[in-house]
Amino acid sequence: MRLGRFTAPRAWYGATFLIAAVFVTGCAAVNGTEPITGTIAAPVEPAAPAVQAVIPAGPSTPAKAPASDLSPLRRQLVEYLSDQDGTYGVYIVDLATGKGVGVNSDKVFPAASTFKLPMSLYILDQVAKGKASLDEKITYSESDYEEGTGTLQDWIGEGDALKVRELIELAITQSDNIATQMLLRRFGVTNVYDYMHALGGQVTHYDEGVIGTTPKEMAAYMRSAQGSSVLKDPKLRQFLIRSLEQTAFEDRTAAGVPDGIKVAHKIGTLPNVVNDVALVEAPGHPFIISAFSVDVDDEVAPAVITEVTRKVYDYLTES
């Protein structure tokens, strides 16, 4: 999803509202900066230091390898990703300890449809504040048409209307582009950008007409979806997480964990771009993994993200 018809704002807002407390830099996260194979196109706007999610620390479980020590995991990921064509960026947060680790985690990548996660967060925040309703209906216009993923293109016509809740579900579960365009026309793409900045994000732009993000920032948006500091209404959180758990795309993160493990995630795909950001309910060590790529083989990259997820899952659950 390029959202090419929207002009990305050039101003760097840097605004910080009350909810930005989720993203202060006090986190003891490890920033992955070791180079790996491939290069990434320079963003139009210079990437400011990416945010780090502050996650309430849970109890650490004594183990044969300290669960809080993620440096061996990072070495595994650097070694593995160095052998892959293209450029990958990964950021992981162990929710049991609050520790984070990354590889190329501050690099700017095309967000593709992972952007639909912070977009949905913004809309649900508007609902929580009484400025919108999940039952509000939005009428389709021909200007909302966009090819690609989703089923609305197969049947929707001028004058048809869907509820906000239905459009969010379609945008998340099917990555429906028309549903996304309808929501953005109603709520405003610039407002979503402002919201991302308010959460502490620095990046909204990758290239002309292409939304950008970093693995670390997208992981922080997923933490906002999972935590209670932003979406305080448990019903709204459950609605979003349930939608993320019911996506139609299971070839990346979800394929890297055992059957029965819940994965709430949002993929993003463009030519030579394969992404996924996920909340994985691993026993004892639930974690967030944000995996992005550029200049990759579309047929190979999903399996690379699957293998990265498997390595993370095994390290956290076996340590």
Within a domain: 258: yes
Task: Provide the pLDDT for residue 176.
Answer: 98
Overall domain count for the chain = 1
Question: Phi-psi region for residue 188, left (φ > 0), alpha (ψ -120 to 50) or beta?
Answer: left
* Cα torsion through 160, 165, 171, 174, rounded to 10: -90
% pLDDT > 70, the chain = 78
* pLDDT 10s digits, 5-20: 343 443 333 333 333 3
pLDDT band (50, 70, 90) for residue 54: very low
Please, what's the b/e burial string for 119-135 (b: 16 or more CB within 10 A of its CB; e: otherwise)?
A: bbbbbbbbbbeeebebe
Task: Provide the pLDDT for residue 309.
Answer: 98
Contact in structure between 270 and 109 (CB atoms under 8 Å): no
CA geometry: angle 55, 52, 275, nearest 5 deg = 100
Which pTM value belongs to this model? 0.80
Within a domain: 301: yes
What's the whole-number mean pLDDT along residues 174-189?
A: 98
Distance, in Å, from the CA atom of 314 to the CA atom of 204, rounded to the nearest integer, reads: 33
Within a domain: 180: yes
Within a domain: 13: no
- What domain range includes position 287? 18-318
Question: 249 or 67: whose pLDDT is higher?
Answer: 249
Average pLDDT, the chain: 84
From the list 92, 113, 89, the residue with the least C-alpha distance to 38 is 89
Within a domain: 7: no
In this model, does residue 53 exceed pLDDT 60?
Answer: no
Within a domain: 158: yes
Task: Provide the pLDDT for residue 229.
Answer: 82
* Residue type for position 84: Q
pLDDT band (50, 70, 90) for residue 169: very high
Task: Provide the pLDDT for residue 67.
Answer: 54
Contact in structure between 252 and 306 (CB atoms under 8 Å): yes
CA distances for 246 relative to 165, 262, 302, angstroms: 14, 10, 18
* pLDDT 10s digits, 228-283: 888 889 999 999 999 999 999 999 999 999 999 999 999 999 999 999 999 999 99
Distance of CA 37 to the CA centre of its chain: 23
Distance, in Å, from the CA atom of 254 to the CA atom of 75, rounded to the nearest integer, reads: 23
59 burial level (CB within 10 Å; 0-12, 13-18, 19+): exposed
- The DSSP H or E segment spanning 30 is none
Q: Which two tokens stand for residue 107?
A: 């690099």
pLDDT band (50, 70, 90) for residue 149: very high
* Cα torsion through 315, 267, 3, 20, rounded to 10: -50
| Lowest model confidence (mean pLDDT) among 39-48, 157-166, 209-218, 253-262 | 39-48
Within a domain: 223: yes
- The enclosing domain of 56 has a CATH number of 3.40.710.10
Q: Which two tokens stand for residue 315?
A: 């390290």
3-state secondary structure of 123: helix
With helix as H, strand as E and coil as C, how does 246-260 read?
A: CCCCCCCHHHHCCCC
Question: 138 or 22: whose pLDDT is higher?
Answer: 138
Within a domain: 99: yes
In this model, does residue 3 exceed pLDDT 70?
Answer: no
